[in-house]
Amino acid sequence: MDERPPFLDEHHVLTGASQGAVWQSLTDLLHARQPGAEVVARLVGAGPRGDGPPGFTVADTVPPQRLRLTGRHHFSRYELVFLVEPDGDRTKLSARSYAEFPGVLGRLYRAAVIGSGAHRVLVPRLLRGIARRAS
């Protein structure tokens, strides 16, 4: 098994939905069609769609608490860990990102995805969408 890539960042959102409802919303994402994401995954060489969203494979789950996705393509190796935790009368949904970007092309890809701020915008948006669907 590969060693976990370096930590990148963590984002979270609080919701009034139950832990079970948030977990269901999160796992529904695994089966959702995402045509734009499928195209991007093919373009960067992520390979055919597996058991996770485009570009990802489900590495392990601990329902209803943790979902760990891993992936790799020509420019990066990455891991996305979702945590669903009770927080008083609310539920905290977190996403921890880990990634490495080897070589010159990896550094360019990192600049495009991380340096541009796209990751910082898209991950919280994803979390808000999961929380909204759970409510």
Among the residue ranges 9-13, 31-35, 84-88, the one predicted with the least confidence is: 31-35
Would you say 83 and 96 are in contact if contact means Cβ atoms under 8 Å apart?
yes
For residues 46-50, average pLDDT: 66
Does residue 6 fall inside a structural domain? no
Supply the range of the domain harboring residue 113.
16-29+51-134
CATH classification at residue 73: 3.30.530.20
Total domains present in the chain: 1
Does residue 10 fall inside a structural domain? no
Does residue 40 fall inside a structural domain? no
For residue 29, pLDDT beyond 90: no
Does residue 110 fall inside a structural domain? yes
Q: How far is CA 131 from the centre of its chain?
A: 14
pLDDT (tens digit, 9 = 90+) per residue, 83-132?
999 999 999 999 999 999 999 999 999 999 999 999 999 999 999 999 99
Does residue 41 fall inside a structural domain? no
The pTM of the full predicted model, rounded to 2 decimals, is: 0.90
For residue 34, pLDDT beyond 70: no
Q: What is the pLDDT of residue 2?
A: 66
For residue 25, pLDDT beyond 60: yes
pLDDT (tens digit, 9 = 90+) per residue, 57-87?
899 999 999 999 999 999 999 999 999 999 9
Does residue 35 fall inside a structural domain? no
CA angle 28, 12, 108 (to 5 degrees): 90
Does residue 113 fall inside a structural domain? yes
Quick one: pLDDT band at residue 13, thresholds 50, 70, 90? very high
CA angle 127, 9, 82 (to 5 degrees): 40
